[in-house]
Amino acid sequence: MRQARIYMDWNATAPLLPAAREACVSALDRLGNPSSVHGEGRQIRGMIEDSRRDVAALCGAVPAGVTFTSGATEAANWVLTPDFRMGRTPLRIGRVYISAIEHPAVREGGRFSKEAISEIAVTADGIIDLDVLERALANHDRSSGPPMVAVMMANNETGIIQPIAEVARLVKRAGGVLVVDAVQAAGRMALSIAELGADFLILSSHKIGGPKGAGALIASGEILMPSPLVRGGGQEKGHRSGTENPVAIAGFAAAARAARQGMRDRMEAVSGLRDALEVAILAAAPDVIIHGRGGPRLCNTIFFTLPGLKAETGQIAFDLEGVALSAGSACSSGKVGQSYVLSAMGRDPGQGALRISIGSSTTLAEIEQCGAAFAKIAARRRLSGDAA
């Protein structure tokens, strides 16, 4: 009897939560434009403001610091700009420093010119090299304006967690601005923008079980803000024009509320499942390389290379076994290429790597099914004696 397919690609997108689906459907029935002053408009405006509070609570922010966007990519392109305002005073950012393992939405540098983007190396463990960052900030040309540093809290491929508080200390000492991509961390670990010392956080709805097409830029306050990327009618306090998407925002907020409930117990359970799968993987193929194992990682992520098995071949093999996983980031139009994250860590990216990412609804039976699929694929690799 053919087994049911199992989904193990939560870092690409999490399954839509029932509560988020219900919130979306309910919002569809609400009449009115949130910018209208009549009763219908005020009602839907109230729903958006309630949603803003829910998203703010997920990362310890103030509601006024939350600006809704169409997703994390838009938020990144908005905040990565040399043009800011400090209150009513223009502020020019001189240069942006980006770690070598950032998501492509951040690596492109937003609205900075290529000449104003500097890449900061990471260690063999996938951690931003704090000494390199410190030297770069010490040598920053302050006459060009303060520096900006953009570092992800947790890597989307390896799950490796970055020392954001230490990064923040260096950035503040240099009088700079810190942008943290918290897309993969949200809902999987406690977040507090104040405790992290970040000026801005980037969030995505569909990574936490909300609908696609919603995200947010979270500011630590209301004084320092980037110049608008989307101009027009002045919605979102003039920061992001265009009529808000109440359906996606309501679903995003419902997912944010769910993410806060019992997070510690939920993630401990997920961590236990992840560890059990790693034991099975290592038993089936002792030569497997699990990148980042033993270091600070997200509790749900396994990024591994099986020597002799190319990533694209492995992805197809798992898919034929009924297991949906990915070969690194799922943000490149389905392309499977070499991992720049592995390259940055000094690893050979030639074979690539596969990523298993699980979540709160993953079951032990699914873990066992995935482990059995891995064992079959590893056995075929041994029998074939080649990369096919």
Is the pLDDT at 126 greater than 70? The verdict is yes
Q: Which CATH class is domain 18-260?
A: alpha beta
- Among the listed residues 24, 59, 331, 370, the single catalytic one is 331
Q: Percentage helix, strand, coil, to 5, in the chain?
A: 40, 20, 45
- Write out the two tokens for 352: 């690539």
Burial readout 330-350 (b: 16 or more C-beta within 10 A, e: otherwise): eeeeeebebbbbbebbebebe
The Cα 310–Cα 349 span in angstroms is 10
Residue whose tokens read 């980042």? 292
Is the pLDDT at 329 greater than 80? The verdict is no
- The distance between the two most distant Cα atoms of the chain, rounded to a whole number of Å, is 71
In the sheet that holds 89-92, the strands lie side by side as 89-92, 83-86, 224-226
Q: Does domain 6-15+262-384 have CATH number 3.90.1150.10?
A: yes
Side chain identity at residue 240, one-letter code: R
Specify whether the CB–CB gap between 204 and 215 falls below 8 A.
yes
CA separation (Å) from 20 to 122, 269, 300?
A: 37, 22, 21
Domain boundaries, the chain: 6-15+262-384, 18-260
Q: What sign does the dihedral 193-197-198-203 (CA atoms) show?
A: negative
What is the C-alpha radius of gyration for the chain, rounded to an integer number of angstroms?
22
Q: pTM of the full predicted structure?
A: 0.94
The Cα 124–Cα 42 span in angstroms is 53
Specify whether the CB–CB gap between 288 and 306 falls below 8 A.
yes
Average pLDDT over residues 129-150: 97
- Write out the two tokens for 80: 């990565």
What's the pLDDT at 44?
Answer: 95
Q: What is the pLDDT of residues 217-276, one digit of tens each?
A: 999 999 999 999 999 999 999 999 999 999 999 999 999 999 999 999 999 999 999 999
Q: What is the pLDDT of residues 54-97, one digit of tens each?
A: 999 999 999 999 999 999 999 999 999 999 999 999 999 999 99
Active site residue 331: yes
Q: What is the pLDDT of residues 263-303, one digit of tens each?
A: 999 999 999 999 999 999 999 999 999 999 988 999 999 99
Is the pLDDT at 106 greater than 70? The verdict is yes
Q: Which helix (H) or strand (E) holds 315?
A: helix 311-320
